[in-house]
């Protein structure tokens, strides 16, 4: 009888949970019922569209004491910062800029929503980076490169006359976590974005975003003067080309006075750039910087230079940019991916961080899960972001972390910035997988304060997105915090990298060899498996990529006995019989890691199924379904990689782990069919 009562109570709780579709993200504030006179609880010493939004948020959702918003130019020297204090039964938020007051309001609402005390406050917040930017890889036809949550948010065919309500919801979500910039279009840019027709559409979005402190940027095609301007070339030293860009920038600022600047991908993956004309990256970036300078605009010039080379691809960025150090204008900032290859599940930090001593550097993360299971797999990325930001480059002695190099605290910088490749689309829940929302949230929180622990961010997000009940928060937080390492385990442990299926970047294809493709498109280029061992030799006896790191790290990475084991196969070609620190061989440890990844995902299924009473039915089923997919895919990764690598190692899979359930030839055929279906 007691068991039946428990079952009845559980069913009752689930049936009475409010229906959810994920559209509210982490902003699931409960509206308060206030009397008309209660509006006097919230006051400000000035008026503006931004302050109107801040007061409206307080009126609708704040349940605590009275709040004064005080605009005071003396309140802080750092843009966007704010102070919150509590005295005499009243909360005061002061800031030098109106947007700081709005950020302060969202700080209060976050405390309320997560169950924290908001009446014992003495807080001063200053962002780690001046520019905290989402990069959208959205195309003008509505598609999204590496997008896994539907089509683009931007309905270009309806702009500028029709504004989707999701635009303002998007701006509000970003403001709630301190993101203050958005690049609207793909780095593989269509030149048409710079035509008068599209600039009017961009203006409509910029006008809507402005009260939320969200500045608009554009990716540009370097060949635009030739493609849409009618010029014979796009040579950055051509006076006519320079004038074309000056005229175009003037046109943009006439429409959008607070336009942020330009993002450029040049001479990479077939994109046009200054090297087409025998010029340097500095020549190209400086031409654009000169056009933007009168308007305080910036150039974000990407260091992702991925073009055919006989050298190790991991060395390319340093080889092209270090010789140019000190040649860039002070409104140019080099945008560097977190690792030297391409957003892999695990990479060492890019050696370009710290190597440019006289050039501003910013970091680029990928929020969208191109190489981490798309929006089908639960992978919380804050530990990856945190790992990179806190990595010590030793460029200026011990403590020269990537965070300190990019935030201007180690070396003075006129511009500081951080970028994340967005994972939003037009699906109702914005990001596809309900847990993928956490990565958007985490990027914003770390962009605001790169010292926040990823565990704290996960705790906030769970409480805001689902429930503050500890019986739910604790197990879900444990699952999230281990999920990135779980993904590494079943995909590419010990520093293996880029062994994905060609183009789709989802499933495994370590045997991949695409006819007519370049070597650095092929998985074998990166794993180098043979009968002696596996891994990429980047030591002095190999490509010598370790030499691009500062000596303290070069000595560690280049020594197989000292190299961190999680990067072992990134820097070394390691014999199958090599003994790791636990005494087991590399081969056996690889097998155990792959199997561990599979078992970890299965444990997530059990954890989630036990939490049904705390989650609304729709989101519960969505996560449950995706965990089933992840468990199946993890098993495919394990079987494909171990069976393939076994053809080189010649050693048995340890008998105390689960046997492969797939045949290698069948897996190869499945991948081949997927390739053909995408051609």
Catalytic residues, by residue number, are: 269, 342, 370
Instruction: Tell me how far CA of residue 114 lies from CA of 1, 91, 118, 468, in angstroms.
Output: 37, 18, 10, 6
Give the whole-angstrom CA distance, residue 634 versus residue 628.
10
Q: What are the residues facing 417 on neighbouring strands? A: 131
- CA 77 distance to own-chain centroid: 28
The sign of the CA dihedral 491, 369, 443, 526 is: positive
Beta strands per DSSP E along 404-555? 417-421, 533-534
Give the whole-angstrom CA distance, residue 357 versus residue 359.
6
Give the whole-angstrom CA distance, residue 373 versus residue 438.
15
Q: 185: buried, middle or exposed (CB in 10 Å: 19+, 13-18, 0-12)?
A: buried
Q: 72: buried, middle or exposed (CB in 10 Å: 19+, 13-18, 0-12)?
A: middle
Tokens of 404: 């300190």
Tokens of 222: 């370097």
Residues 6+ apart with CB under 8 A from 323: none
Q: What are phi and psi of 228, to 5 degrees?
A: -125, -10
Residue among 115, 80, 116, 112 at smallest CA distance from 95: 80
Give the whole-angstrom CA distance, residue 362 versus residue 267.
19
Number of alpha helices (DSSP H) and beta strands (DSSP E) in the chain: 20, 15
Crossing angle of helices 239-255 and 281-292, in 10° steps, is 40
Residues 6+ apart with CB under 8 A from 157: none
Q: Are 433 and 376 in contact (CB under 8 A)?
A: yes
Q: 618: buried, middle or exposed (CB in 10 Å: 19+, 13-18, 0-12)?
A: middle
For residue 505, what is the DSSP state? Answer: -
Largest CA distance in the chain: 87
Residues 6+ apart with CB under 8 A from 310: none
Q: Cα-atom radius of gyration of the chain, to the nearest Å?
A: 26
DSSP symbols for 522-564: SHHHHH---SSEES---STTTT-GGGGS-HHHHHHHT-TTTS-
């Amino acid at each position: 009888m007691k068991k039946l009562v428990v079952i009845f109570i559980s069913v009752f709780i689930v049936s009475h949970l409010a229906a959810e579709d994920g559209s509210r993200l982490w902003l699931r504030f409960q509206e308060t019922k206030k009397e008309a006179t209660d509006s006097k609880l919230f006051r400000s010493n000035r008026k503006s569209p931004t302050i109107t939004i801040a007061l409206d948020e307080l009126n609708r959702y704040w349940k605590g004491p009275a709040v004064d918003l005080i605009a005071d130019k003396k309140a802080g020297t750092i843009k966007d910062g704010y102070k919150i204090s509590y005295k005499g039964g009243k909360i005061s938020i002061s800031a030098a800029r109106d947007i700081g007051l709005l950020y302060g309001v969202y700080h209060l609402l976050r405390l309320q929503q997560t169950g924290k005390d908001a009446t014992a406050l003495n807080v001063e917040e200053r962002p780690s980076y001046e520019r905290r930017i989402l990069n959208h890889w959205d195309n003008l036809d509505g598609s999204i490169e590496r997008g896994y949550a539907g089509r683009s948010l931007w309905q270009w065919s309806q702009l500028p006359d029709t504004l989707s309500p999701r635009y303002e919801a998007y701006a509000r979500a970003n403001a709630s976590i301190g993101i203050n910039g958005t690049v609207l279009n793909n780095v593989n840019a269509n030149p048409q974005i710079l035509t008068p027709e599209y600039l009017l559409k961009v203006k409509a979005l910029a006008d809507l975003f402005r009260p939320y402190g969200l500045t608009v940027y554009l990716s540009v095609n370097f060949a635009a003067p030739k493609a849409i301007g009618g010029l014979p070339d796009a040579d950055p030293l051509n006076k006519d080309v320079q004038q074309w860009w000056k005229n175009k920038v003037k046109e943009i600022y006439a429409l959008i006075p607070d336009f942020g600047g330009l993002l450029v991908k040049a001479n990479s993956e077939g994109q046009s750039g200054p090297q087409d004309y025998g010029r340097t990256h500095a020549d190209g970036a400086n031409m654009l910087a000169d056009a933007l300078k009168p308007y305080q605009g910036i150039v974000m010039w990407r260091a992702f230079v991925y073009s055919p080379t006989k050298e190790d691809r991991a060395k390319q960025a340093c080889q092209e940019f270090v010789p140019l150090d000190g040649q860039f204008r002070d409104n140019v900032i080099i945008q560097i991916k977190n690792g030297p290859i391409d957003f892999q599940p695990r990479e060492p930090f890019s050696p370009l961080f710290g190597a440019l001593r006289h050039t501003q550097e910013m970091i680029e993360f990928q929020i969208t899960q191109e190489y981490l299971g798309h929006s089908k797999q639960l992978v919380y990325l804050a530990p990856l972001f945190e790992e990179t930001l806190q990595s010590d480059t030793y460029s200026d002695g011990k403590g020269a972390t990537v965070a300190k190099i990019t935030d201007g605290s180690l070396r003075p910088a006129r511009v500081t910035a951080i970028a994340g490749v967005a994972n939003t689309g037009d699906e109702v829940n914005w990001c596809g997988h309900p847990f993928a929302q956490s990565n958007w949230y985490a990027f914003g929180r770390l962009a605001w304060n790169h010292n926040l622990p990823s565990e704290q961010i996960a705790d906030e997000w769970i409480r805001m997105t689902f429930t503050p009940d500890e019986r739910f928060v604790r197990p879900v937080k444990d699952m999230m915090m281990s999920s990135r390492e779980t993904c590494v385990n079943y995909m590419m442990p010990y520093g293996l990298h880029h062994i994905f299926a060609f183009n789709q970047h989802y499933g495994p294809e370590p045997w991949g060899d695409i006819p007519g493709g370049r070597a650095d498109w092929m998985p074998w280029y990166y794993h180098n498996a043979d009968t002696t061992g596996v891994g990429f030799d980047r030591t002095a006896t190999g490509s010598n990529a370790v030499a691009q790191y500062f000596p303290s790290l070069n000595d560690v990475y280049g020594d197989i006995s000292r190299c961190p084991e999680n990067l072992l196969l990134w820097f070394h070609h390691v014999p199958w019989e090599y003994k790791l620190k636990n005494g087991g061989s590399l081969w056996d440890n690889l097998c155990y890691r792959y199997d561990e990844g599979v078992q970890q995902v299965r444990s997530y299924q059990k954890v989630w199924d036990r939490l049904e009473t705390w989650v609304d039915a729709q989101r519960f089923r969505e996560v449950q379904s995706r965990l089933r997919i992840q468990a199946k895919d993890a098993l495919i990764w394990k079987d494909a990689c171990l069976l393939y690598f076994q053809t080189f190692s010649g050693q048995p899979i340890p008998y105390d782990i689960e046997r492969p359930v797939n045949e290698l030839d069948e897996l190869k055929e499945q991948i081949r069919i997927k390739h053909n279906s995408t051609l």
